[in-house]
Amino acid sequence: MASALYALAALVGGAAYLYRVRRSELLPLLARNLLWLILGGFLGANLGGAAMLVSRLTGAALPFALKDTSILGALLGGTATALWLCRRYAVSFWSAADQGIPALPLALSIGRLGCFARGCCYGAPTASWLGLYLPDRAGNWLPRYPTQLLSAAANLLIFLALLAVERYGRPREGELTRLFFALFLLKRFGIEFLRGDALPAVLGPLNTTHLTCLAGLALVGAVSLTQRNP
């Protein structure tokens, strides 16, 4: 079931992306390079696992804990690939990103249902009304925060928010993409506090995922200021 949902997420996300750019003059370029974007996201998602493998092989300790796969890494890899492609073909990154970005939270929403079916990305035990009787990866069933379902719902809301802003807000070039990153990073920052597989804290209650989200939000804010005041 999990594999089917992950595949569905990729198919729906890809179809939504191509549907949105169907009337764009960039359609041939965007369609031709969609696989490069997927590959960049895949490589970025596995950066943590690659770093841990190198650490084990060389015996060199990592300065902080990492996860073997990461959505944040996938966004980093996909964004880096998009920047490279836009530079290569002399295309505005913001214009190209704005056209396809709403498809991303839609795909991520479905992908989190795959995480729920797989049992990964599980929540911490809780006695609150939010708790559902769910397992962790070891098969230990307890009332837990349904973090996969919360993430799926939040990603769907981000998707709807982007469509609403695009239709009624008249965003300037790049604002839709920056709004996605801001909303996603805020969502990921908050959900991390509820995760049962969260990394160890490195700065007060914050772990490397929290710090990565804060760094990303600072970058989004800085870029937004420079774009408003060129």
Contact 136, 124 (CB under 8 A): no
Query: Which tokens in the block code for residue 149?
Result: 């379902």
Global confidence as pTM: 0.88
pLDDT of residue 151: 95
pLDDT of residue 48: 55
* Crossing angle of the two packed helices 208-228 and 71-88, in degrees rounded to 10: 30
- Residue 149 burial (CB < 10 Å; 0-12/13-18/19+)? middle
CA dist., res. 65 & res. 100, Å (int):
33
pLDDT of residue 63: 46
Domain of residue 114 covers 2-228
The count of other CB atoms within 10 Å of the CB of residue 70 is: 21
Q: Within a 13 Å sphere around the CA of 84, how many CA atoms are in the beta-carbon half?
A: 10
Q: Which amino acid is it at 64?
A: F
The structural domain count of the chain equals 1
Query: Which tokens in the block code for residue 229?
Result: 């005041």
Q: Which amino acid is it at 7?
A: A
pLDDT of residue 55: 44
Contact 79, 45 (CB under 8 A): no
pLDDT of residue 200: 82
21 membership: H or E segment, kind and range:
none
CA dist., res. 76 & res. 212, Å (int):
11
Q: Is the dihedral of CA 156, 66, 43, 178 positive or negative?
A: positive
| Close Cβ partners of 180 (under 8 Å, ≥ 6 residues apart) | 101, 102, 104, 105, 158, 162
Contact 124, 191 (CB under 8 A): no
Phi, psi of 33 (to 5 degrees): -105, 10
pLDDT of residue 66: 46
Strand positions, DSSP E, the chain: 132-135, 141-144
189 membership: H or E segment, kind and range:
helix 175-192
Tens of pLDDT, residue by residue, the chain (230 residues): 778 988 898 889 888 888 887 777 776 777 777 777 878 877 877 665 555 444 454 544 444 444 556 788 888 888 898 899 888 888 888 988 898 899 999 999 999 999 898 888 899 999 999 999 998 888 889 999 999 999 999 999 999 999 999 999 888 999 999 999 999 999 999 999 999 887 788 888 998 889 989 999 999 999 998 877 65
